[in-house]
Structures are given as structure tokens and as C-alpha cells.
Amino acid sequence: MVAKKKTTLRETDLYAPIRDFLTAQGYLVRSEVRGCDVTATKDDDLIVVELKLRPSIELLIQAAQRQKITDSVYVAVPRPDKMPWKRWRSIQHLLRRLELGLITVAFTSPTPYVEIAFHPVPFQRQKRKAARRALIQEIDGRSADFNEGGSRRRKLVTAYRESALRIAVLLDKLGAQSPKALRVHGTGPKTTTILYSNVYGWFQHIDRALYDITPEGRAALKTYAGLAKRFRKELASRGKEG
């Protein structure tokens, strides 16, 4: 039995389905007009569609140039099958921000299916107050800048991780402590929650309102040695002041 040869999709494969779709809407469709992949006119309405096999900076640049001609600019791509949903939503958000329309073409059946995901309309930017508040709280919760901008695939020192490390340093130094005793040393109002949740596995509940550090916690102190050293100095300084 001879296996079917896998066909490679080309940008030109997008044209016929989109042409037929727009023609069915009463538009006069023409291709490759003064650099535009697809143009469609009906009365005074002018639509420009730029074709690409995947979203790219080049596609956005081309589409933005077409906005000098008409407000009705769309980008057309094959419907993504393997792209993570979160990334696909982010791409759609960017297109909306740029006031571009989006057309997808599905090639999962003998007859390609064209869908208008959204039309190019003025974008109304809305700030998410909860997200803004969470960002500011995270900034305020960090005692210093322990990360490097642009870092990938490495554990970041968040405000939460910083608080957990501070607790781990104290437990390593002082032995088992209660949340109340730890707060006296400046571990903050979320001490009980951090110990109880034990997100990183650094702590263990050994008695009523009494917690100690685990081997994983001591290993974390070596992983974040610089930060642990800083917290130990803070602890020593507090002891001298006391």
C-alpha cells in the first residue's frame, strides 16, 4: 500500500477560498493589485486582505501599510491546529489593538472553510484594575531586584518566593517556630498562609502552630544562596538592635 504524499500548504492556497467567500458576499475580487494580496470592492467599500501561512511581523507591517489605503484591512491565515490557545488569543488581541480584521481558513475538509474571526474596528483600550493592582503589589512585595529582565526557563524570585525564603532562613537558624514568632522577625502578614500552603515543599507542620524546615527547604537556601545570605545578615542586624 502506497502512503499518501503529504501536501505542503502555500500562501496561494488561501486565495481561492477567500475569493469565493467574498464573491458570494457580492464583492468584485482581484489579486495582486499594487502590492495587495487580495482586493475586494462593492460600491464604495474597499477591502484589502493580506495572506500568510502564519502570523508574523512581516504580516503586521504589510497590513499596517494597507491601512493607509483603507480602514477595512484583514489578515488571513490557516486556522491553527497546534498553536497553544493562550498564544492564539494573544495574537488576536494584538490584531485587535492594531485595528486589523482576522480571517481564518480551515483545510480540514475537501472544501476549505472560511471564517471571519472579527472585523477591523476602532479599538477601545481598557485597563484591568485588578491586574494593575496585582502588578503593583508584586513590585512592592519585592525587597530588591533579584532577577534579570528577559530571563527564560529559570525560577524567578517573586515576592511570594522571597517571603518563603525569608521564613526558611529563620527556621534554619532558629529551629521550629510558630507563625507568630516568625512574624516578630519580619516575615510579614502572609506567614501563616505560606507555611500552611507549603507550595514549594520547604516546610513541615510538626506540632500545633509549630513549623520547621524540610531538606527541600535547606536545598533551596543553597539554590538562592545570595538571597539567603542577605536575609541572614538582616536577621543578625535585628538581633543587634534588639
Any domain includes 73: yes
Q: What is the pLDDT along the chain (242 residues), one digit of tens a residue?
A: 344 444 688 999 999 999 999 999 999 999 999 889 999 999 999 999 999 999 999 999 999 999 999 999 999 999 988 888 899 999 999 999 999 999 999 998 888 999 999 999 988 777 777 877 877 776 777 776 666 565 566 577 788 898 999 999 999 999 999 999 999 988 888 999 999 999 999 999 998 889 999 999 999 999 988 888 988 888 777 655 55
Any domain includes 134: no
- Same domain flag for 174 and 224: yes
Q: What is the DSSP string of 20-83?
A: HHHHHTT-EEEEEETTEEEEEEETTEEEEEEE-SS--HHHHHHHHHHTTT-S-EEEEEEPPSSS
CA distances 3 to 7, 31, 108, 172, Å, are 12, 35, 19, 64
Any domain includes 169: yes
Q: Rounded CA gap, 172 and 213, in Å?
A: 6
Domains in the chain, number: 2
Q: Which region, left, alpha or beta, applies to residue 175 given φ > 0 means left and ψ of -120 to 50 means alpha? A: left
| Domain around 104 | 12-118
**CATH label of the domain that carries residue 181:** 1.10.10
